[in-house]
């Protein structure tokens, strides 16, 4: 079966790859250090998992963009104990951030995120007690919620934990493929030394059954999703193809 969401016209090969990272203070590296490393590895941009009480650092996102020629996408990863509290947080932050992510880890949270169109990405869905079944996969496909393939456990564990991580990712890939679920790919980096170049992540993807093109499509999807949301959040946007403003009569 063909890999999902691979289309030469919809996802041109020259679109830049993006990564999603956890900067200081929750992570161990500054936003600027992540941006520098990401540029060295060939990424066109990075998504920051931040929280309402955390800070990017002494440099502003625009200063980091200018210094390292890397697109900075402001995101928030919501981590709550229950779907009810997660729903409130999504509502509170939807208009404040370009990307809204919900951290999974339980079947209840995974299902909430998949059924909530205001959520952009369900992250870490297989962590902890988390699992994804056909109901969650179908809901994510229906609502356009991207499911994250977090390669971090494969890259940074060994033995039985690594075997389980590979098994979880293979199961997730089969569901994504079967139900045509949109997805993103990440190394789950909390420090800049945990970043991996796109070609390295593509090699990991082959182990779980993805083609290299499919992994790169998942890395590009972060940037495509950010571009879509920036358009939607533009004050002149009304609906696709319609914007407020003055137009020439001949246009």
Residues sharing a CB contact under 8 Å with residue 84, sequence separation 6 or more, in sequence order: none
pTM (two decimals): 0.86
Continuous H helices in the chain: 31-40, 61-68, 83-93, 107-114, 134-143, 152-156, 159-179, 198-207, 212-233
207-224: pLDDT as tens digits: 989 999 999 999 999 999
Packed helices 134-143 and 159-179: angle between N→C axes, nearest 10 degrees? 50
Delimit the domains of the chain by residue range: 18-233
- What is the distance between the alpha carbons of residues 187 and 25, in angstroms, rounded to a whole number? 19
- Count of beta carbons in the 10 Å neighbourhood of residue 144: 13
Residue 5's pLDDT is what? Answer: 39
- What is the distance between the alpha carbons of residues 69 and 66, in angstroms, rounded to a whole number? 5
Token pair for 30: 């500054």
The yes/no answer on whether domain 18-233 falls in CATH 3.20.20.140 is yes
- What is the distance between the alpha carbons of residues 220 and 108, in angstroms, rounded to a whole number? 28
Percent of the chain at pLDDT exceeding 90: 70
Query: Per residue of the chain (251 residues), what is the pLDDT tens digit?
Result: 334 333 333 445 678 999 999 988 888 998 999 999 999 999 999 999 875 444 566 667 788 888 888 999 999 999 988 899 999 999 999 999 999 999 998 899 999 999 999 999 999 999 887 789 999 999 999 999 999 999 999 999 999 999 999 999 999 999 999 999 999 999 999 999 999 999 999 999 999 899 999 999 999 999 999 999 999 987 654 444 344 444 444 43
- What is the distance between the alpha carbons of residues 159 and 242, in angstroms, rounded to a whole number? 54
Looking at the DSSP bridge assignments, the partners of residue 77 are 101
Residue 134's pLDDT is what? Answer: 96
């Amino acid at each position: 079966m063909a890999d999902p969401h691979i289309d030469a016209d919809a996802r041109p090969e020259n679109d830049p790859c993006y990564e999603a990272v956890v900067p200081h203070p929750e992570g161990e590296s500054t936003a600027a250090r992540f941006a520098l490393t990401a540029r060295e590895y060939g990424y066109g941009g990075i998504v920051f998992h931040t929280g309402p009480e955390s800070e990017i650092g002494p440099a502003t996102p625009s200063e980091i963009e200018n210094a390292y020629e890397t697109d900075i996408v402001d995101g928030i990863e919501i981590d709550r104990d229950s779907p009810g509290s997660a729903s409130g947080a999504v509502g509170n932050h939807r208009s404040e951030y370009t990307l809204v992510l919900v951290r999974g880890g339980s079947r209840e949270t995974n299902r909430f995120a998949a059924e909530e169109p205001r959520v952009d990405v369900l992250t870490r869905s297989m962590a902890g007690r988390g699992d994804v079944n056909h109901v969650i996969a179908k809901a994510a496909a229906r609502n356009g919620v991207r499911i994250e393939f977090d390669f971090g456990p494969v890259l940074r564990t060994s033995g039985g934990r690594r075997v389980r991580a590979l098994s979880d990712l293979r199961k997730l890939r089969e569901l994504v493929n079967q139900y045509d679920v949109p997805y993103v790919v990440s190394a789950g980096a909390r420090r800049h030394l945990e970043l991996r170049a796109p070609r390295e992540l593509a090699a990991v993807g082959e182990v779980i059954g993805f083609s290299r093109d499919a992994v790169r499509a998942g890395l590009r999807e972060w940037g495509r999703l950010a571009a879509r949301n920036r358009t939607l959040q533009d004050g002149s946007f009304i609906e696709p193809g319609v914007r407020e403003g003055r137009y020439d009569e001949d246009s």
